[in-house]
Amino acid sequence: MTMTSAGFASASRSNPLNGSRPVLITGGAGFIATNLAHRLLCDGHHVVLLDNLARDGVEQNFGWLRRRHGNRLRMLFADVRDAEAVSRAVQGVGRIYHFAAQVAVTTSLTDPFLDFDVNARGTLNVLEAARHCPEPPAILFTSTNKVYGRLEHVALRKTETRYEPADDGLGRMGIDEQQPLHFHSPYGCSKGAAEQYVLDYARTFGLPAVVFRMSCIYGPHQFGTEDQGWVAHFLLAALRGQPVTLYGDGCQVRDLLFVDDLVEALILAHAHIGRLSARAFNIGGGPSQTTSLIELMDLIAELTGEPSAATYEDWRTADQRYYVSNTGSFREAVGWSPRVGIREGLQRLHAWLVNAHAADRAASPSPQVAL
């Protein structure tokens, strides 16, 4: 797709409310991007979204943002793989949040070329466009815990409902950034390659850039599918009275981070990017915000008043039995820590799904989950 140059010309003017340049968000109608855009617009910024609207639900997100914020929001209908469109999009912006991505391990297994083109080449398009600007904008790139691979070397013990590290210290703190990179799956490779380009452009070219290696994010405007957004997907299945398919034994553990807490971290990272540049941070709920799949199903059953049903299949490629973020590095750098607990976050997501009638939207006959 090509973007509308007239729309960008209007958005590229300085923000009269705060004197700053507009903010560009790639993948701007996605779940996290929508929440971030709303916060920035409420704070008085002009925001430019670049998105090809390829994912389910993103058109609703864009419509919601447009209704709420009107002309201070500009939408560029373009694909991050289109280097010319990306080059035009970055002109005049002061900072970039780069979310545009192919987000599913399953898709990367069936179409590695698509996965590479979107995640690696698309990110390189953003970096090159930013590098050649007269005033290069700062970039925050969202990566994934999948860059650490399956973490097979981490010794685990299994309880009735979850896996836990055999090392109590690791259980208290989580996985930190000293964990060696070990890409697994084409998705892990493409996101890992992309983040390494981001870090190197900061080191080699002096481009202000930082990386977030994110764990499981959830919250309003998330349209969970069988491949991505498993917390919302579980809630949607419960609301529809449908079972979910669990791959493995359901005792896999993740740390959950409510999207409002992530948005705060994203804004803080850009505010301090001068001293954070060329660094990667693990971002998630941390050890205090963990759940296994079957534990989450029990929480959802408490919330909805209905038992959750599940079927089981074999383990999936590259699945991690245990991943919990150690967010200490980012906390020490900027003073950030999550505030929304899992129960409160689930209640807020549940209320949004019900109010938005998201449970009535199209879904697969047997919802599945990919972590």
Three-state secondary structure string covering the chain: CCCCHHHHHHHCCCCCCCCCCCEEEECCCCHHHHHHHHHHHHCCCCEEEEECCCCCCHHHHHHHHHHHHHHHEEEEECCCCCHHHHHHHHCCCCEEEECCCCCCHHHHHHCHHHHHHHHHHHHHHHHHHHHCCCCCCEEEEEEEHHHHCCCCCCCEEECCCCEEECCHHHHHHCECCCCCCCCCHHHHHHHHHHHHHHHHHHHHHCCCEEEEEECEEECCCCCCCCCCCHHHHHHHHHHHCCCEEEECCCCCEEEEEEHHHHHHHHHHHHHCHHHHCCCEEEECCCCCCEEEHHHHHHHHHHHHCCCCCEEEECCCCCCCCEECECCHHHHHHHCCCCCCCHHHHHHHHHHHHHHCCHHHCCCCCCCECCC
The catalytic position among 187, 201, 322, 323 is 187
Rounded to 10°, the helix 58-69/31-42 angle is 10
Q: How many CB atoms lie within 10 A of CB 131?
A: 17
Residue 322 annotated as catalytic: no
Exposed / middle / buried, residue 113 (Cβ in 10 Å: 0-12, 13-18, 19+): exposed
> Rounded to an integer, what distance in angstroms lies between the CA atom of residue 221 and that of residue 64?
10
Catalytic residues: 187
